[in-house]
């Protein structure tokens, strides 16, 4: 076996998987206002930015061959309510950013997050009956809100809406609403197997939902990290309901799920290298414990080896720059 490993040329000839910039989706955090940039302390190299400062980032992504950005809004505290009405405001942050990005960079894919947690005063991804002392997130009532949010984003020009809420039946409900409005080309990227993970901490800091969530959790709707077969049932349902793509989240700790999903369904399969994964590698590299570029590229290649068609990663710009060099 070692004979074929002896030289670079023969290693290249038998290489099974390749990473390119076409595999990368760059998640970005966008703020209200102008001229604003706020570093995310727990995510070195990542900042929340206003639209005017996002445009040069989008231009760089296009130049380096990254197919799409995934938008995550940072909503002002005064606009957060129990019913999350700001989530479908046509003049709100996300629709405004989507419209401008599509005007300036029509070739760049724009993916929007469909979930209520950036907009709710309680930090949950769905609606809660104020009379319920348990704070249980209501399923069917939340579907109506999510559909309004997805429709708002699609009308603004979003290419892909990505429901990350994990409510039952939301893919079918959103697809039906989009089709009724003749938005038949708006794709749905379903967070189909999203786990109740502890790796999301820095992300919640970045979008400002951690404080609202407090000591609450999302275990009644996000998946139990102990389960694998359940993920296949979730993915099957989302595909049956009309999802065009499916996602596993988090990423590297769940590559076994990615492999099972890809082998079982053969559908376009994505994974999210989440904030905690990014923060760990960045911190280790900053301490000199790991070679930053080497582990970054190895981790991304691991997603491809597991079966991913694409990867949402905060490393996207850095990786694309290395791939272009």
- Given this model, what pLDDT does residue 89 score? 97
Regions of the chain with pLDDT less than 70? 208-215
The CA-based angle 253-137-116, given to 5 degrees, is 70
Distances (CA, A) of 38 to 45, 51, 101: 11, 13, 20
214 vs 209: CA distance, rounded Å: 9
Query: DSSP secondary-structure letter at 89?
Result: -
Helices then strands, counting H and E runs in the chain, come out as 12, 12
What length does the chain have?
325
pLDDT of residue 212: 60
Tell me if residue 200 falls in helix, strand or coil.
Answer: helix
Tokens read off for 42:
């727990």
* C-alpha R_g of the chain: 19
- DSSP H or E run through 313: strand 310-313
Which pLDDT score, from 0 to 100, does residue 216 have? 72
The pTM of this model reads: 0.95
Listed in sequence order, the DSSP H helices in the chain are 8-13, 51-63, 93-104, 140-156, 170-180, 201-207, 210-213, 229-241, 255-265, 275-286, 292-306, 316-324
Distance, CA of 17 to CA of 6 (rounded, Å): 19
List active site positions: 194, 249
Give the distance between the most distant pair of CA atoms in the chain: 70
| Calpha distance 272→249 (Å, rounded) | 5
d(CA 188, CA 195): 19
For 293, half-sphere exposure in the C-beta direction (CA atoms, 13 angstrom radius) is 8
Helix axes 93-104, 140-156, angle to 10 degrees: 30
Using CA atoms, how far apart are residues 179 and 252, in angstroms rounded to an integer?
35
Instruction: Please tell me the predicted confidence (pLDDT) of residue 215.
Output: 66
**CB of 322 within 8 A of CB of 281?**
no
C-alpha dist (Å) from residue 149 to 103, 113, 165: 21, 9, 12
């Amino acid at each position: 076996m070692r004979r074929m490993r002896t030289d670079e040329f023969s290693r290249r000839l038998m290489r099974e998987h390749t990473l390119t910039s076409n595999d990368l989706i760059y998640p970005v955090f966008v703020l209200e206002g102008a001229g604003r940039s706020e570093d995310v302390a727990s995510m070195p190299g990542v900042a929340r930015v206003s639209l005017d400062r996002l445009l040069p980032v989008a231009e760089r992504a296009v130049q380096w061959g990254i197919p799409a950005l995934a938008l995550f809004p940072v909503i002002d505290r005064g606009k957060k309510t129990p019913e999350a009405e700001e989530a479908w405001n046509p003049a709100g942050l996300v629709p405004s950013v989507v419209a401008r990005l599509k005007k300036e960079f029509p070739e760049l894919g724009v993916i929007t997050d469909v979930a209520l947690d950036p907009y709710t005063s309680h930090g949950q991804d769905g609606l809660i009956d104020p009379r319920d002392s348990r704070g249980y997130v209501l399923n069917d009532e939340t579907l109506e809100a999510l559909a309004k949010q997805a429709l708002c984003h699609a009308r603004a020009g979003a290419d892909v809406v990505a429901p990350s809420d994990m409510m039952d039946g939301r893919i079918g409900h959103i697809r039906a609403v989009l089709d009724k409005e003749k938005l038949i080309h708006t794709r749905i990227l379903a967070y189909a197997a999203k786990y109740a993970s502890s790796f999301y901490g820095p992300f919640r800091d970045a979008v400002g939902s951690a404080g609202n969530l407090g000591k609450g959790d999302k275990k009644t709707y996000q998946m139990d990290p102990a389960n694998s077969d359940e993920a296949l049932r979730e993915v099957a349902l989302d595909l049956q309901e009309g999802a065009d793509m499916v996602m596993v989240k988090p990423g590297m700790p769940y590559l076994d799920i990615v492999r099972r999903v890809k082998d079982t369904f053969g559908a376009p399969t994505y994974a999210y290298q989440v904030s905690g994964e990014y923060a760990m590698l960045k911190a280790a590299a900053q301490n000199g414990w790991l070679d930053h570029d080497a582990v970054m590229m190895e981790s991304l290649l691991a997603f491809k080896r597991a079966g991913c068609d694409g990867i949402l990663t905060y490393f996207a710009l850095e990786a694309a720059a290395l791939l272009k060099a």
